[in-house]
Structure 1
């Protein structure tokens, strides 16, 4: 992967860690700016008794404390008072009347004069007797009657009763008892006692009592009557508290219409708008703080993934920049689709190409980071497509984006051809239709036939759109970041490429050699988990430098004398060595990926041209060994190391006549051991265990290529024996 020149300049001034942190900070700022409008509370410049331009809905769910308190007070007021029925009240009252009348009668009997005395008794003696009776009656009532009768009945009333005849007294007793019983049977509440006494007085007045006797009867009844229903304050308060507790808080539900576009804003509606915080100059910062926390979580997840990724810092930063660009581009696409909600089309979020980011990152980088990006974008989609309700999230769109993105990653397992992207897009369409069907059927709502058609179109546009966007953006990312994708490798393997055509026409032997080495290297790389396709394509181009002097290489010397016989060993050495540097230069000129150029430069490492070195020594020349080594560098990747081995093995085995499996195995071991002793693999991460796998794979492949063939007898043509 090539690093952009601008990034190289920036890295000259910043450390890798600081540069990476700046990328994350910049990405967080961009994401915050894109999502800001989706969480920013809407504000309205309205006033009381105005008519709003648009219908205003509640952006969130809150509790209306004032309405709740009013509802609680109403519930408390509706609680009926609790009274305790006093069963013994009537009997007590009737007993009181009987006791009082009986006491009056007894006093009268005890102090009654004889018949002669009664006839001769003058008015003063009668008054004295009446005073005496009154005194005795008051003493008896005070001692015998629990209720303080003497405080309720004055002397005049008692005197009236003492002065009444037995018939009048009995009649008073009967009338008062009857009326008190009637009144108290109809329930007398303690807070209605005065009304009961008034009613009793009115009923007693209907009887023919005269003068003071009527007053005495009324006073006696008022004394006797008492509440039958006693107010239970404790129980009533308990019921009030229970009623208050049972009142559910009055909530303004998210999405609820607060005021319609043709409705006047009343003081109560204005109060609700203030409570929701959507009046101008009264904006809540909580949604913005929530968005900040959300972005911190997203960036932390992404940071941890890249921090734990076991690759070089340079690659890590390039991949981070690539991922960030894909993330921002996808987020902007999401935002554009989200703005289409103003068209009032239901579930417009299903139109979003949810699989695009996952598919393109799967092709350019790997499956793991593609999955992480799908999860992050699903979370963002829940904010963007939320029906313009502040603070709300749309779970349905989040699920749709998640499953659509995952399907795009999974169905793109074969990344060698661009046609596979379109095929994966059709599979995504099927998944989209299934997920949408699941979501709309789960609602159990009624939809028209046209609405079902809309949903099908959304699913189709989302899936195919994801594939088209992937195909369209892929060349830009490959060129801009120098990423060598599988599709790019397949394109480079096309024999119609100018360099391969040049190699085929000008150095056919080298071309055949390159194809054979490609077969060996690809199989060996795949056996150790390296990039087999990269090794194959790298082999196609690794000897392209031989086209400058093709006849100086033995595979191209068909029916001709070896030109090295006519030049010095030093000249031959320079020609042979230059094919690596010439090839790299030609590849750079044709703007081939850096990985292919590296293979051309490194496929011989710093190995020694033993033949020409020893030939020079035999001629008596004093030369340094370093002068006959390739300039290198040594293989930096496993693919370059495997090609280093395969190139030498293929040439050596091809020079053998009818090689046996044992000879092939011995040759492969010797070449690999020579490379190990020469330190050619010191700068790549090829382990000894992997080298053993490479040995085994090369031997198997070579045995298949150079297996012994049955020699058939030569057939004679007709007339040949004649």
Structure 2
């Protein structure tokens, strides 16, 4: 049992990756649509490239979106409008008219004339309330059919033009009076009815909309059907018109049909296989080309997390409304991975993610082409992400590529630009704006996963930071040495394509451990007193070596990232404090070399190897007397060759060609530092 536990512990990293691989695969499959995939690809207006297609089962032909929308529009525009009549108003108005008539028309008017006027007043009321008076002006077509309800019971039908608007009351009074040759009484009747007339019709919006919705629900989304075995399309025929609609209907039916338990399990199994293959390719890529990332479980988890996040966002948008699919900022993935790792890993992961998204999105080929091209543009254009202008320029270029590619696809599909959906360009612009969110996202990832981006490195390279100011105060010589090493290391990194910002920051902090005992290091001995004179060689060597351990402690206390602490650990590798080692050998014959060696580890990256070379060269260059070009060349060659002989660079992925390039840069830089001039003959 103990051996089994020990074996598990030794392989815990591999076990974790296996669990991460399996859980990621199942989570992605869970997000995928649980249906089959139509095995034929076709485009409207293009020839059918596959064999003759017969209907595999009976299915209905779906109406096009335009057909359905036309039917809906017709139902909405022709729907009956329902108005509720207040049955109390009309009798009340007639009663009020009887009571108010003689107040307006005096008894001095002849009885016959008075009787005629009263009858005309009743005619006006009947005209006004034949259908009713609206309580407000409604903006409906005059030809719309209207149903008038009393206590939810329809009492009469009419046209909307039959209903009286309040603004029409005066004209109706005028019309009735003219027909009876009593126009001279218009002022009196208008005055009378001004106080009497009340609206009695109210539009019942909720009931009307309910009836309309019932009619909309009755719409059939299919027209006709295709029987099993019927020829749908022959090879070489152009996919258009009814044939296109039949193919669309078959694809929709095939992908949305209800699966039995056996088919459902097979579909899940097939999806799991494809997703597992994609994730396996990513792991194999990491193991072969990015082993330092593969060995770090946090970094592997970070990459898998970003893939799951984008697939989740895309699935969410597709389920909500697939027309917004291009708002999802897929290019955030290569941006983030390039910020923390490198361009090659970012592009490889981006392509795999887009391939997986092809199972989710409509028009998968078009989508994948657009996103892969956009990812390539992202990798090619985004450099020095810590410079804000660069990100804005790159996002603008990515958005432009989206628009150009989408425009090309649309013209290929439709053959013209007349029906171009300009709103899609707005989605691309919104996608670009969402991509700008990468900056705060990178900051959040740094805190969550303990990673370091160029943005953080830029902040750490500020010599006014608390830790570097403390170094300049306590150990000014060391601080000046670190600045010189940083300049040499940055130039060397640029020469071979390494991370110049990372190596510069590493150089600035690599000797912070010397703050604990600054006067024991020659660059800080300004008084001419050397405290090593009072110590044994072994004690002196221990103090010198301990600056690495002290530096690591100070760095951790100040929350420096692990990638920066790596430079403190490795900048001396496993080399020997040669001066005190040889001094001890003069005193004793048997000296343990390990007592005078740094604990290591050896440099394990190009950047840490560069720092080791530059640190040794800069420190030793102080001993050069009357330097010449030849002396500097020999000096650089001897120091770096000695490090190679000691095997200090065996774990670093740096080539001899790159080392030669670094030597060349260091020779040139030292020559400039010592202001060497060409000696002209007298």
Determine the C-alpha separation between the residues in 2 that align with 1:291 and 1:314: 31
Change beyond 3 A, Cα 1:642–1:372? closer
Q: 1:546 aligns with which of 514, 518, 542?
A: 514
Task: Give per-residue Cα distances to partners, 1:352-385, cap 9 Å, x unaligned.
Answer: 2131222212222332333333334434444434
2:416 maps to 1:437: no
Q: CA deviation at 1:514?
A: 0.9
Residue 253 in structure 1 maps to residue 223 in structure 2: no
Does the alignment pair 1:64 with 2:203?
no
State the alpha-carbon separation in 2 of the partners of residues 277 and 647 from structure 1. 64
Partner SS state of residue 36, structure 1? coil
1:602, 1:634 within 8 Å by CA — same for their partners in 2?
A: yes
Q: 1:302-330 deviations in whole A, cap 9, x for unaligned?
A: 42343242343762563442221111101
For 1:282 and 1:301, locate their aligned partners in 2 and report how far apart those are by CA, in whole Å.
26
Match of 1:384, SS?
Answer: coil
Equivalent residue for 1:30? 27
Cα-to-partner distance string for 1:653-701 (whole Å, 9 max, x where unaligned):
1232441111112222322333344443444444544443333332122
Contact 1:543/1:579 (8 A) holds in 2? yes
Q: How is 1:415-494 mapped onto 2 (pairs within 5 angstroms)?
A: 415-417=385-387, 419-442=389-412, 443=414, 444=416, 446-447=418-419, 452=422, 454-468=423-437, 470-494=438-462
**1:126-165 Cα distance to aligned partner (Å, 9 max, x none):** xxxxxxxxxxxxxxxxxxxxxxxxxxxxxxxxxxxxxxxx
- Find the aligned partners of 1:433 and 1:375 in 2 and give their Cα distance: 20
Please list, as runs of the form range in 1=range in 2, the aligned pairs for 1:688-703 lying within 5 A after superposition: 688-703=656-671
1:635–1:684 Cα contact (<8 Å) kept: yes
1:584 to 552, 556, 580: 552
2:74 counterpart residue number: none
Asked if structure 2 preserves the Cα contact closer than 8 Å seen for 1:525 and 1:531, the reply is: yes
- Structure 1 residue 412 and structure 2 residue 388: aligned? no
Describe the shift of the 1:498–1:365 C-alpha distance in structure 2 as closer, same or farther (beyond 3 A).
same
Per the TM alignment, residue 540 of structure 1 is displaced from its structure 2 partner at its CA by: 0.7
Distance 1:56 1:523, change over 3 A: farther
Aligned residues of 2:35 and 2:264 also touching (Cα < 8 A): no
- Work out the CA distance in 2 between the residues paired with 1:39 and 1:361: 33
8 Å contact from structure 1 (residues 658, 708) kept in 2: no
Shift of 1:19: 4.2
> Aligned-pair distance for 1:394?
4.4
Change (3 A) 1:577 1:398: closer
Give the direction of change, closer, same or farther, for the CA distance of 1:678–1:358 in structure 2 (3 Å limit): closer
Tell me if structure 2 keeps the 8 A contact 1:415–1:486: yes
Counterparts of 1:367 and 1:297, CA distance in 2: 25
- Does residue 1:297 correspond to 2:274, yes or no? yes
Change (3 A) 1:282 1:298: closer
Cα pair 2:302 2:449 within 8 Å, conserved: yes
Alignment of 1:138-217 (within 5 A): none
* 2:289 counterpart SS class: coil
- Residue 315 of structure 1 is matched in structure 2 by 294
- Residues 571 and 603 in structure 2, CA contact (< 8 A), matched pair in contact too: yes
* Residue equivalent to 2:310: 330
Correspondence 1:310-389 to 2 at 5 A: 310-312=289-291, 315=294, 318=297, 319-341=299-321, 347-386=323-362
> Higher mean Cα deviation, 369-378 or 540-549?
369-378
2:638 paired with 1:670: yes
CA distance in structure 2 between the aligned counterparts of 1:310 and 1:445, rounded to whole angstroms:
45
1:503, 1:511 within 8 Å by CA — same for their partners in 2? yes
Deviation at 1:626, TM superposition (A): 2.8
Q: Which residue of 393, 402, 405 corresponds with 2:372?
A: 402
Structure 1 gap segments, 5+ residues each: 1-8, 42-49, 72-247, 259-272, 387-392, 712-722
Q: 1:257 to 1:484 in 2, by over 3 A?
A: closer
Deviations 1:36-81 (A, max 9, x none): 257699xxxxxxxx9995867579x995228x49x9xxxxxxxxxx
Alpha-carbon distance, 1:563 to partner: 3.1
Contact map agreement 1:355 1:407 (CA 8 A) in 2:
no
Asked if the contact 1:422–1:464 (Cα under 8 Å) also holds between the matched residues in 2, the reply is no
Within 1, Cα distance between the matches of 2:528 and 2:476?
Answer: 15
- What does the per-residue CA deviation read over 1:98-133, in whole Å, with 9 as the maximum and x for residues that have no partner? xxxxxxxxxxxxxxxxxxxxxxxxxxxxxxxxxxxx
Question: Any idea what the Cα deviations from partners look like across 1:485-511, whole Å, max 9, x if unmatched?
Answer: 333322321223322121122222211
TM-score (norm 2): 0.62
SS in structure 2 opposite 1:537? Answer: helix
The 3 A distance-change label for structure 1 pair 313 and 16 is farther
Maintained 8 Å contact 2:35/2:255: no
Conserved 8 A contact 1:58-1:255: no
- Count of residue correspondences: 486
Question: Match of 1:673, SS?
Answer: helix
Distance 1:681 1:369, change over 3 A: closer
CA contact (8 A) 1:34 1:332 kept: yes
TM-score, normalization: structure 1? 0.59
Aligned to 2:676: 708
1:208-230 Cα offsets, whole Å, 9 max, x none, are xxxxxxxxxxxxxxxxxxxxxxx
Distance change >3 Å, CA 682–CA 375, structure 1 → 2: closer
The counterpart of 2:466, out of the listed 498, 508, 513, is: 498
User: What is the rounded CA distance, in whole Å, between the counterparts of 2:34 and 2:628 in structure 1?
Assistant: 74
- CA distance in structure 2 between the partners assigned to 1:257 and 1:685 by the alignment: 55
Relative to structure 1, is the Cα distance of residues 51 and 14 closer, same or farther in structure 2, using a 3 angstrom cutoff? farther
CA distance in structure 1 between the partners assigned to 2:609 and 2:560 by the alignment:
20
Q: Contact conserved, 2:510 with 2:571, CA < 8 A, in 1?
A: yes
Q: Given that residues 570 and 612 in structure 1 are in contact (C-alpha distance below 8 angstroms), is that contact kept between their aligned partners in structure 2?
A: yes
| TM-aligned CA deviation for residue 349 of structure 1 | 1.7
Deviation at 1:594, TM superposition (A): 2.1
Q: Are the aligned partners of 2:35 and 2:267 in contact in 1 as well (CA < 8 Å)?
A: no
- Whether contact under 8 Å (2:573, 2:602) holds in the other structure is yes
| CA contact 2:37–2:254 (8 Å) conserved in 1 | no
Q: Is the 8 A contact 1:604 1:644 kept in 2?
A: yes
